[in-house]
Structure 1
Amino acid sequence: MGDVIPDMRGAVSSAIALAHAGELDNAAIARGLKRHDTELLDYLIETYQHRLMRYLMFLTSRREVAEDLFQEVWIRVLKRGSQYDGRARFDTWIFTIARNLVIDLSRKRVMASLDEMREGGDDERPFEIVEDSPSPLDQFEFRENAAELQKVMLTLEPSYREVLSLRFHEEMALEEISQVTRAPLSTVKSRLYRGLAALKPELTRLRALRISEADR
């Protein structure tokens, strides 16, 4: 913890203690990042590493690329931590950083239609949405079958699998997904429902399999 000046050691220790108790809030994270608190950064990496890698994998479909971007995300957090003010959730902020890095990379390398993740593209087509959120059955089945569905999700359009991952894996509200993706709420809803529609055959197959196993 060499970057933390001596008279702040007590405050930092308290922050980490609260973190391990699950009580570290966004404001405390913001204060720690402004101090370049390396112990706090280690804690954040440990806490968010699996979620962040999963998100990057869904965006890029390539582990080596996701691993490189994962490292770059935390370099950005270290360098630009003072820009985080604690008003938004910390995970929303780092997922936004990750997404921007993927888009920057897509400008340099040919990747699978990542430009469609910007406003426009498929979302210009009319799409009627009856409900504001997936049905309870959709949510339950997605979470229950998450492991089986991951391989199927990787075959979907990047914009669809991104929203599905943020909604069901990260349990973000639609408004938060809109912030991360910088897309209108209506666009987020469109992508979510198109993605769910693409997964419906697999959800139906898994549901039938569960019923069959239960009847044995």
Structure 2
Amino acid sequence: MQMSVNKDMSGMAISLAGSLAHQESENVVIAQGLKRQDPELLDHLIEVYQHRLMRYLLFLTGKREVAEDLFQETWMRVLLRGAQYNGKARFDTWLYTIARNLVIDLSRKRTMASLDEMSEGGEDDRPFEIPTTGPSPLEQFQSRENSAEVGEVLLRLEPTYREVLVLRFYEELSLEEIAGMTKAPLSTVKSRLYRGLAALKPEMEQIRASRPVGEAAV
């Protein structure tokens, strides 16, 4: 039995190592192609990441027209500044960083409450405990019973919480990657994640309470 477990663990380690090596190799290929301004590579990247990038921008801005404009601008920046990508980090984190910076720049110009506050600290980073009675907000979020409802709730949350939740659970970035991308301390990222998760539950309950009796979730 022990030998079988050891084999399984070894197999998992080899698989993980192979996956990481493949990711690094893919990043290098992308970096080389961007330096050459390869049009076929750019078309491929747009095809692969267009839906994820638009979803991220929609969650950050809450407005489709704004998100669509920033979507186009993001890909223009990728084309013009592709030589800056060295392939050491995941391409999607670099892509989202460009998009995020564009959102911040736009927010500053329009002087509206937004992601601008995310880069300035001043947040309460004291440990935050999530109540343990009943299903946790994390469990409710991960169940994805109604993705439309979850999306609606996320747009109600503060931008600082919303962004971390989207990057963690939709884009599946690690907390360390989110910290690097947002230039926030890891403790701040964790605080935003837990507070955002805790804020999901009452918002979800409010949506369900407002639904007519007998109406099923779509």
Smaller-chain TM-score range?
0.7 to 0.9
Residues 145 and 24 (structure 1), Cα distance of their counterparts in 2 relative to 1, 3 Å cut: farther
Normalising by the residue count of structure 2, what TM-score does the alignment of the two structures yield? 0.76
For 1:160-179, list aligned pairs within 5 A: 160-179=161-180
Superposed, 1:12-51 pairs within 5 Å as: 25-51=26-52
TM-score (norm 1): 0.76
Q: Answer yes or no: is the 8 Å Cα contact 2:154–2:200 preserved in 1.
A: yes
Change (3 A) 1:126 1:179: closer
Question: Distance in 2 between the 1:171 and 1:89 partners?
Answer: 12
Contact conserved, 1:163 with 1:188, CA < 8 A, in 2? yes
Matches within 5 A, 1:81-160: 81-121=82-122, 123=123, 125-129=124-128, 137-138=139-140, 140-141=142-143, 143-160=144-161
Unaligned runs of 5+ in 2: 1-22, 131-135, 209-213
Aligned AA (2:110) = R
Q: What's the counterpart of residue 67 of structure 2?
A: 66
Counterpart amino acid of residue 75 in structure 1 = M
C-alpha separation between the residues in 1 aligned to 2:156 and 2:57? 15
- Which of structure 1's runs of 4+ aligned residues deviate more than 4 A? 202-207
CA, structure 1 residues 105+36, in 2 after alignment: closer, same or farther (shift >3 Å)?
A: same
In 2, Cα distance between equivalents of 1:90 and 1:194: 28
Alpha-carbon contact 2:24-2:87 (below 8 Å) kept = no
Alpha-carbon distance in structure 2 between the residues aligned to 1:144 and 1:34:
43
Residue 24 to residue 135, structure 1, CA distance change in 2 (3 Å):
farther
> Which structure 1 residue ranges, 5 or more long, are not aligned?
1-21
Q: CA deviation at 1:45?
A: 0.5
Structure 2 CA distance for aligned equivalents of residues 184 and 138 of structure 1: 27
Let me know the Cα RMSD of the aligned residues.
Answer: 2.8
Q: What is the rounded CA distance, in whole Å, between the counterparts of 1:165 and 1:191 in structure 2? A: 12
Work out whether residues 125 and 188 of structure 2, in 8 Å CA contact, stay in contact via their aligned partners in 1.
no
Q: Amino acid of the residue matched to residue 127 of structure 1?
A: R
Equivalent residue for 2:200? Answer: 199
**Which residue number corresponds to residue 12 of structure 2?**
none
